[in-house]
Each structure stands twice: as structure tokens, then as C-alpha cells.
């Protein structure tokens, strides 16, 4: 039955399928300490679901097996990005596709139905795509799907860093696969690559400093100290993932390739700044970017223009500084001042250094 499930998963488009028990993750204490230190920032949902994340039985009573699945979003021949176009923003690579939650839902549902049929009467299963209250990365490592790198994301020897993970928790008992040992060795490229030093020590991330957190999860104002470090990144950050040498083994997956959105590859920043709420929803319908709402994305766009834009961006930012949304207006005002200081180093704007 195990191989039948694995083969069915591959038929449905998943790139890897591995199995582990539904026992509590060995890293539960480490997760608790991470929360106590406040490293989760404003992601209160992580703390609310703490008990369930520490015990899968609280998620599905009688669960015996966790099936861990991977879907690659690598793109063969995709060049490394360089900060050579100041008017273009950068999305994390995964966001240049339709929302993976939606794409993976259909094959996951089908695999769950097939699983329950194989298990027979009384079999119960739950599927999740990055939404369930389980420590999915930790359990995926135990299943042998990959290993947690020093950047704290999962690394696969077959897929590198560019993949999504999903899970099915089931009452069906299936023999577990062998865990994947850590294979980082002495490499610290991901830590060196992080613009904000968010990887506070190997295998520990302070989300409050992470550009992915700042551009997606943070709902309020971006701290001034981090704005210049964001460059042109307007939704997520891939720097630590891209630095990993295991990416040389990354394989392009078929499931996400069909949902590639080329219009999200380095979009025009000034064009994005002109979007009203209706236009924002239309432009990003069906993509992960909707998560930030207009206020969040345009906040990030203002920061990117403040970091890299020239005089041509000033009238657009000045207009945005009067936006009805205070979060956008504040960051637009900051961006105007940053550009003016570059054009005239003796700037006198509200964010400029004051003379003594």
C-alpha cells in the first residue's frame, strides 16, 4: 500500500512523497523557546496553535501516519537577479505563480480520497497546505523529505530549496521512512547572504528581522532600520534560499510550471503605485500577493522606490504621500525624502539627518 500511495502522489503531480509517524515532533521544546523569545513577531497564530503543533493527536485523534509531500517551483534556466533595474520590483520566486494553496488543494483532496479508500471503512484523514497547526518542516525532516538548513527552511537533495510542502495526517498506519540527516556541513552561505542578519545563529531565525516577514506578515510600519536593506524586494525574499549550493540539484516540477505568472517577474514599481483597490485585486487575483492587501504591497513599493528610484518617481510618490491609507502615505513620504537626499545630499526632509 505504501508504494501505491507514493506512486499515486507522483501521478497527481507531487515531486516527492515520504512517510513518518504521527508522534509529537522532537523539536517541540525548541519551538516553545523560539516563541518565548518573541522571534515570531506579530504572527500570533503560531502561538495560538502551539499545543496542537506540539501534538498531532490534538489535530486528528487516532492519527498514526503523516504523509509529507513536496512540489517543486524551480524554473530551469531562471537567471539570478541583479539590482540593475531601479524601476522594477522583486517578488519571491514562489509568488510568481498562482497561489500554491489553491493549486495544491485539488491533487491533495484527490490523494486524500484515494487514501481513505485504500484504508477502508473507518479511515480518517486531514490534508493541509501550509495552513494546519503542525510543525510541518520538522515532521517532513523526520519523514526524510529534506533537512532544515541553517536558514531554517527545508532543503531537499533532489529539489534544492525551491519547493512547497504539504501533508496528509491519517489514522492509517504506514511504515515510516528514514529521517534525513542534516547535510549543511560547515557552509554558512545563507547566513552571509541575509541582508538583515535575520538568521541570528545557525538554525534559528528572528522573523522580526526577515524581509519576508516585513513585506508579507507585518501589517504596520516597516522599521526605519530595515527599509534601506530591502532594496527592490516588494514581496518576500529569496536571498538565503538562492545562496544554498544544494540548488544545483533543483528540478523543474510540472505542477507549478503550468501556473507560472510571467507578469509578476519584476513588475514596474511606478505602475504598481498607481493601483487603486479594485485594480490591485484584479491584477493579483489568484496569487499569494493578495495576502498583503493594497496597503501592504504599496507600502513595500514605496520603500523600493525610496531605495532605488530616481527623480522620475518623485511625482508618483508625492501623490502617494496623500493617499487615504496612512500606511502608504507614511512610506511614500519617507521614499520622497530618500530620493531627494540622493539627488541633493544636503537634504532637509523630515527623515534627513538634522544639523547640529
- Set 29, 130, 263, 268: catalytic member: 130
CB contact burial 71-90 (16+ within 10 A = b; e otherwise) = bbbbbeeeeebeeeebbbbb
How far apart CA 70 and CA 215 sit, in angstroms, is: 25
- Angle, CA 301 vertex, CA 297 and CA 303 arms, to 5°: 120
Q: Distances from the Cα of 317 to the Cαs of 82, 123, 231, 299, 330, in angstroms?
A: 24, 57, 17, 11, 10
* CA atoms of 302 and 306, how far apart (whole Å): 6
Say if CB 325 and CB 313 are below 8 A apart. Answer: no
- Count other C-beta atoms under 10 Å from residue 298's C-beta: 25
Residue with cell 538634522: 354
Cell 533532489 belongs to residue: 158
Category of 202 on φ-ψ map: left (φ > 0), alpha (ψ -120 to 50) or beta? beta
Sign of torsion over alpha carbons 70, 76, 80, 84:
negative
Phi first, then psi: give them for residue 167, nearest 5 degrees: -140, 155
Q: Is 208 within 8 Å of 39 (Cβ atoms)?
A: yes
Note if 238 is an active site residue. no
Alpha helices in the chain (DSSP H): 2-11, 28-36, 44-48, 50-54, 100-119, 136-143, 189-193, 211-212, 239-242, 254-257, 269-273, 277-283, 293-308, 314-320, 326-343
- Write out the catalytic residue numbers: 130
Amino acid at each position: 500500500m505504501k508504494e501505491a500511495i507514493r506512486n499515486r502522489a507522483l501521478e497527481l503531480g507531487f515531486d516527492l512523497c515520504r512517510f513518518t509517524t504521527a508522534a509529537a515532533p522532537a523539536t517541540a521544546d525548541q519551538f516553545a523557546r523560539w516563541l518565548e523569545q518573541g522571534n515570531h513577531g506579530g504572527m500570533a497564530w503560531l502561538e495560538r496553535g502551539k499545543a496542537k503543533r506540539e501534538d498531532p493527536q490534538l489535530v486528528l485523534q487516532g492519527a498514526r501516519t503523516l504523509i509529507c509531500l513536496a512540489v517543486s517551483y524551480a524554473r530551469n534556466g531562471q537567471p539570478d537577479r541583479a539590482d540593475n533595474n531601479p524601476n522594477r520590483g522583486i517578488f519571491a520566486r514562489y509568488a510568481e505563480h498562482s497561489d500554491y494553496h489553491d493549486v495544491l488543494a485539488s491533487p491533495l483532496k484527490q490523494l486524500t480520497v484515494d487514501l481513505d479508500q485504500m484504508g477502508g471503512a473507518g479511515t480518517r484523514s486531514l490534508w493541509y497546505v501550509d495552513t494546519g497547526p503542525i510543525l510541518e518542516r520538522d515532521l517532513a525532516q523526520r519523514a526524510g523529505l529534506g533537512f532544515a538548513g541553517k536558514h531554517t527552511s527545508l532543503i531537499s537533495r533532489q529539489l534544492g530549496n525551491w519547493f512547497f510542502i504539504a501533508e496528509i495526517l491519517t489514522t492509517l498506519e504506514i511504515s515510516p521512512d528514514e529521517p534525513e540527516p542534516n547535510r549543511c556541513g560547515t557552509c554558512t552561505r545563507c547566513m552571509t547572504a541575509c541582508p538583515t542578519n535575520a538568521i541570528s545563529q545557525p538554525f534559528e531565525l528572528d522573523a522580526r528581522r526577515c524581509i519576508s516577514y516585513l513585506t508579507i506578515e507585518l501589517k504596520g510600519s516597516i522599521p526605519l532600520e530595515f527599509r534601506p536593506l530591502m532594496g527592490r524586494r516588494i514581496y518576500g525574499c529569496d536571498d538565503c534560499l538562492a545562496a544554498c549550493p544544494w540548488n544545483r540539484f533543483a528540478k523543474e516540477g510540472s505542477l507549478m510550471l503550468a501556473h507560472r505568472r510571467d507578469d509578476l517577474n519584476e513588475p514596474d514599481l511606478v505602475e504598481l503605485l498607481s493601483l487603486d483597490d479594485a485594480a490591485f485585486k484584479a491584477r493579483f487575483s489568484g496569487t499569494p500577493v493578495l495576502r498583503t492587501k493594497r496597503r501592504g504591497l504599496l507600502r513595500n513599493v514605496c520603500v523600493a522606490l525610496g531605495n532605488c528610484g530616481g527623480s522620475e518617481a518623485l511625482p508618483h510618490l508625492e501623490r502617494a504621500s496623500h493617499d487615504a491609507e496612512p500606511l502608504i502615505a507614511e512610506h511614500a513620504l519617507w521614499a520622497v525624502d530618500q530620493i531627494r537626499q540622493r539627488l541633493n545630499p544636503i537634504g532637509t526632509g523630515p527623515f534627513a539627518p538634522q544639523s547640529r
